[in-house]
Amino acid sequence: MDAFNACRQVNDFLHQKDENSARNALIKILDYYEQQNLKYDPVVNHLIRQVGLYPYLQIETASWQDRFAYESFKSDVGAEKPVTLHREQASILKKLMIGKSLAVSAPTSFGKSFIIDSFISLKKPKNIVIIVPTIALTDETRRRLQRKFSSHYKIITTSDVELEENNILIFPQERAIHYLGKISDLDMLVIDEFYKASPKFDKERSSSLLNAILKLGKKAKQKYFLAPNITSINESIFTKGMEFVHVDFNTVYLEKYNLYKHICGDENKKSDELLKVLRNTNGKSLIYAGTYSNIDKVSNLLIDNNDLSQSKKLKDFEYWLTKNYGRNWHLTNLVKRGSGIHNGQLHRSLSQIQVKLFEEEDGLKNLISTSSIIEGVNTSAENVIIWRNRNGRSRLNDFTYKNIIGRGGRMFKHFIGKIYLLEEPPESAETRLELNFPDELLSEVDEIDFKNELSKEQIAKIISYKEEMTEILGEGVFNELQKEKAFESSNSFLIRDIAIDISTNESSWNGLGYLNSNNIEDWDRLLYKVIKLQPGGWGIEYNKFVGFIKILTANWTKTIPELLYELDELDIGVDDFFKLERNVTYKFSSLLNDVNVIQKKVFSDQTIDLSPFIVRISHAFLPPTVYQLEEYGLPRMISKKLHESRVINFEDSELDLHKAINILNKFTYQRIKEIVQDLDNFDYYILEYFFDGISINKPKIAD
């Protein structure tokens, strides 16, 4: 590269007011300097300041003006030292600091977490709620904020935890609703990936996110919504009073290789190209497979063609997977060859472990994923490979495509992200986000509380719905349940259908109390009855789902391989195990909760309460704290070893998550290594990572 002429080109772009082209050209120069191990000269530093990429400045070779900019844009983000923000980060932070509510669209590589952290550090809100789309992102966010703010804030990620004076609450939208009655004073509501409030992007869960935005937004003094690649947004009740900020400011450059042009749809050529890319690249690679079946196809390809990894860490991981899940599983065989899998169904701790290994030099080289990688974690790679241009059954749209390729490159690590397209990408398009009040929320909204925000037609629909529910349940009953926020579902039609079925078919619901029985053979009829309230969507035939629930009751007393041996009779393998366990703990437990709420009102002369059974299924028949600790990165099989070694009694009914964390912190990682005899090398690796995420930070300075 002729650095002088390249810098002149950047300057020309700036004179033409084409800052995006200038920034892209400059990032390529920075990559060249890094590859050649060269120090930036004053001209390069000056251009960095001109395009607003202040964190990239090398102050030892910069002019005093550039050094001044570097220091001026430093901000406290809760870390040991202040961090220099880039121009657009600083602009958004400034708006937040003066109290504005913002809906921000910015690229994946923008660095949004610094803004949240800086706001907390500088503004010191008493209560802040951060809603994220997945449990995996919940833990990633918790870990980051735990390291910085745990000495000043109680950091909450699960339901039914008592608040303290200062709280940071982080969870998916379904859990947020549980805190509506507890939070009287909310300083900031943060919605990460807020595009998922549109049914266009998340049909199944959008209504619950809209419900959280509506209810918590009404309590919040300030709101900060984040999403990538949104060009405009409609005015609605959900973003009322918010300023929309569209930022087109990249910090890395994406270099695309259109390999699909000579593949021409030939599957054999595509397989050859994938293997060639993986052989000829040194950095980490994210492989977007698009569907579960394509994950299997790519997995088989890598298993058949890649050599065994020499990494001791991966050998330990493979042994651990074999022992705890089984030998004949794609992931076990993939790990031996330096690759992993990321999807939305794996046990949470497994996904977290793999992302950590992917970040480490001697860990996983490749990660095969569905779209979970763009909404589940904040990870990136030098290489992003698009194997399939589909997202499930649908073709990949431009919005999702940009989110996926946005995982290429990383500030201070890879100035250039390399994008390998093995199938043709979608046509470029602008994305307008439409957030509208859905009929599914009719049961959740009080028309009096929101009379100024709703239209006359919407108010009429709510009143009509309430009249129908009053006719079914009796005078005042539905209003009482609504005020108690008793329902788990945000689907008004499902609530209505449950109420109709129970009130009109009372005799068929006799014996509900049998679900609290310890005799699992008493459950069958009632399990079928509940499942049929929500036809389809259980991922398997009804009889196999019922059989799975009954076998899952031994989740704490038996190992996963032992459970899988029993499930083999139902033709349920390890991948189905993950999917069905998630359906039991979330979808089925939520449905049963709403059945329980309604049946107690309809059968008011009886005293049946299904809460004991609901608690069991919502925690996959594990001790509740064991299930919750999996979200923190501690797998159930290690918790079992801690329990059997009497480090902690997970069967203690008085134990909760925060008590368990306090007990474990008092023991320390080193002490547990000494006490628990049957931990293997990879157990130690997981435990060290887990303890890193629960340690209480020491305050930098006294307030």
For residues 592 and 600, give the distance between their C-alpha atoms in angstroms, rounded to a whole number.
12
Among 107, 125, 108, residue whose Cα is nearest residue 116:
125
Query: Whole-prediction pTM value?
Result: 0.91
SS3 content of the chain, % helix, strand, coil (to 5): 50, 10, 35
Q: What is the pLDDT of residue 701?
A: 40
Q: Which residues pair with 286 in a beta bridge?
A: 367, 384
Instruction: Determine the angle formed by the axes of helices 135-149 and 624-631, rounding to 10 degrees.
Output: 80
Task: Decide: residue 702, CB within 10 A, 0-12 exposed, 13-18 middle, 19+ buried.
Answer: exposed
Q: What sign for the dihedral angle of Cα 308, 313, 319, 321? A: negative
Q: How far is Cα 660 from Cα 638, in angstroms, rounded to an integer?
A: 14
Q: Are 231 and 406 in contact (CB under 8 A)?
A: no
Q: How far is CA 70 from the centre of its chain?
A: 33
| Tokens describing residue 362 | 């001697």
Classify 657 as helix, strand or coil. helix
Does an H or E element contain 192, and which? strand 186-192
Amino acid in position 30: L
Please give the pLDDT value at position 324. 96
Q: Please tell me the predicted confidence (pLDDT) of residue 425.
A: 94
Q: Which residue has the tokens 């925690």?
A: 619
The answer to whether the beta carbons of residues 140 and 614 sit under 8 Å apart is no
Of 313, 322, 325, 302, residue with least CA distance to 357: 313
What's the pLDDT at 375?
66
Q: What is the pLDDT of residue 347?
A: 85
Q: Which two tokens stand for residue 57?
A: 């400045």
**Strands in 371-444 per DSSP E:** 383-386, 390-391, 394-395, 416-421, 432-433
- Residue 46 tokens, joined: 């000056």
Residue 155 in tokens: 């950091």
Distance from CA of residue 558 to its chain's centroid? 29
Q: Which residue positions in the chain have pLDDT lower than 70?
A: 375-377, 697-703
The type of residue at 383 is N
CB of 643 closer than 8 Å to CB of 655 = no
At 178 the pLDDT is 82
DSSP string, 14-41: HHTT-HHHHHHHHHHHHHHHHHTTPPPP
**What's the pLDDT score for residue 395?**
87
DSSP state of 587: I
Asked if residue 388 lies in contact with residue 289, where contact means CB atoms within 8 angstroms, the answer is yes
User: Are 105 and 399 in contact, with CB atoms under 8 Å apart?
Assistant: no
- In this structure, what token pair is assigned to residue 372? 């979970």
- pLDDT, residue 123, reads 94
